[in-house]
Amino acid sequence: MGPIRRLAMVSLHTSPLDQPGTGDAGGMNVYVVELARRLAARDIEVDIFTRATSSSHGLVVEAFPGVAVHHVHAGPFEGLTKHELPAQLCVFARELLRAEAAHPVGHYDALHSHYWLSGQVGALARDRWRVPLVHSMHTMAKVKNAALAQGDLAEPQARLIGEQQVVEAADLLIANTDLEAKQLINLYDAEPGRVEVVYPGVDLEVFTPLEEHARAAARAELDLPPGSSVLLFAGRIQPLKGPDVLLRAVAVLLARRPELRSSLVVPVVGGPSGTGLERPTALTALAAQLGIDDVVRFVPPVGQQQLARWYAAADAVAVPSYNESFGLVAAEAQACGTPVVAAAVGGLTTVVRHEHSGLLVEGHDPEPWAQALLRIVDDEPLRAALRAGAPVQAGQFSWEATADRCLEAYDRARTMMREPA
């Protein structure tokens, strides 16, 4: 076998070109784009196949030199929820196989699918193309269902079955952390020898600490008053991400320390997603109900450059998720030199080093969250120490290292490829 020269990626339910922070676009979108860019920089041609969600999308779009995004027509462009997409798997698979059929036999050297829906299609393509299937779960239904947020819906049985099928079909599974690898083995009976841990990365050129004068300029640009205490939430607004936990904690904090109201700003950067789409104004209503709508500021999703400025301008970034396979927001914020207050769940226990780059909070009760946030607001030496430790912690996560490890995984998968069933 020669080196990997052409790679197919499948990201069925969300396009890597979508703006992260709303709808179904989030950390996985960033992962697919950044990994593809780094692989292309190593002279590997990457074709990303995703479902077309607009008639204005070109059939093939060059995202970056060496990276082509193929918009596959499967079902109506709009109106389909993620739970309705399984009905479109056959059409998507047919069009994927048709696209590959236009090339000589053996066009792709490997296939990397993202999320269980893509894995279902990838399993079929793997058998037809006779190339290894490497799969990344990104999130797992059994893990999510074990720690549901209040008001969230359990993942359906169809997903549980589908994930199990993908685990059994894949030649190699990529886990974001050691904990996720254990979950794949213990909850899905994955073969330990077919699970590789590859940390996702951070663009350390975009997400980087600012000097104090540049940080002050960023605050002015974002209309954040000088001397204010800024507690930021960034991400999709849905129960899984727990933005309500931050708001309830802020209410507790202000009840305890009402004098902070005049200097506290709580930006929420992101848009409704998942079950949050059913009640898109629920968070604004909660802020009003808690009597903190004067300190909470809702900001639509922004691009990476602007997001980096929000991170750098904040005193702390809250990540109160009920589950994270990795926790990209936490890693990006730390890379900007900003302490993170995160729930002690999933990959966040790997990304955040407690008392070094941020604070980990057990559970989602507002009281301990308020205490943790107040520590950062009140304790300037602690805040300075965490600001110094945050970029050091984030520095171990780079997309270059992710690409190198994924390439090793693709090569290993080629030596372990199962015979088609």
pLDDT digits (tens, 9 = 90+) for 203-235: 999 999 999 999 999 999 999 999 999 999 999
Helix%, strand%, coil% for the chain, nearest 5: 45, 20, 35
Is residue 69 a contact partner of residue 60, using CB atoms and an 8 Å limit? yes
Work out the average pLDDT over 140-161.
91
Residue set of the binding site for Mg(2+): 311, 314, 338
Does the pLDDT of residue 277 top 80, yes or no? no
Percentage of residues in the chain having pLDDT higher than 70: 97
Q: Say what the pLDDT of residue 273 is.
A: 60
pLDDT at residue 276 is higher than 50? no
Which secondary structure element, helix H or strand E, spans residue 209, and what is its range? none
Which CATH number is correct for 212-394, 1.10.3720.10, 3.40.50.2000, 3.90.1150.180, 3.50.50.100? 3.40.50.2000
Scan for tokens 């709508």, then name that residue: 293
CA gap 331, 393 in Å, rounded: 8
Degrees, nearest 5: CA angle 414-420-91: 100
Give the per-residue pLDDT at 23.
Answer: 67
Domain-wise residue ranges, the chain:
6-201+399-416, 212-394
Confidence of residue 355 (pLDDT cuts 50, 70, 90): very high
Residues in binding site? 13, 19-20, 24-29, 82, 115, 139, 159, 236, 241, 302, 311, 314, 324, 332, 338
Cα 264 to Cα 227: distance, rounded to the nearest angstrom: 9
CA distance 345 to 363: 8
Q: CATH topology for 6-201+399-416?
A: Rossmann fold (3.40.50)
For the stretch 93-109, pLDDT in tens is 999 998 888 888 889 99
**Average pLDDT for the chain:** 93
| Percentage, residues of the chain above pLDDT 90 | 81
Q: Residue positions in the annotated binding site for 1D-myo-inositol 3-phosphate? A: 13, 24-29, 82, 115, 139, 159
Q: How many CA atoms lie less than 13 Å away from 383 in the CB half-sphere?
A: 15
**280-324: pLDDT as tens digits:** 688 999 999 999 999 999 999 999 999 999 999 999 999 999 999
Identify the three-state secondary structure at position 319. Answer: strand
Averaged pLDDT, 40-55: 93
Residue ranges for the binding site for UDP-N-acetyl-alpha-D-glucosamine? 19-20, 27, 236, 241, 302, 324, 332
pLDDT grade for 421, boundaries at 50, 70 and 90: low
CA distance 323 to 139: 9
Q: Do residues 230 and 263 lie in contact, with contact meaning Cβ atoms separated by under 8 Å? A: no
Give CA–CA dist 305/308, Å, rounded.
5
Whether 390 and 358 have beta carbons less than 8 Å apart is answered as yes
How far is the C-alpha of 356 from the C-alpha of 354, rounded, in Å? 5
> What average pLDDT does range 44-53 have in this prediction?
94
Instruction: Quote the strand ranges of 245-372, DSSP E.
Output: 264-269, 296-299, 316-319, 340-343, 358-361
Within its chain, how far is the Cα of 199 from the centroid? 12
Q: What is the CA radius of gyration of the chain?
A: 21
> For residue 22, what pLDDT band results from cuts at 50, 70 and 90?
low
**The token pair that represents 148 in the structure block:** 């549901």
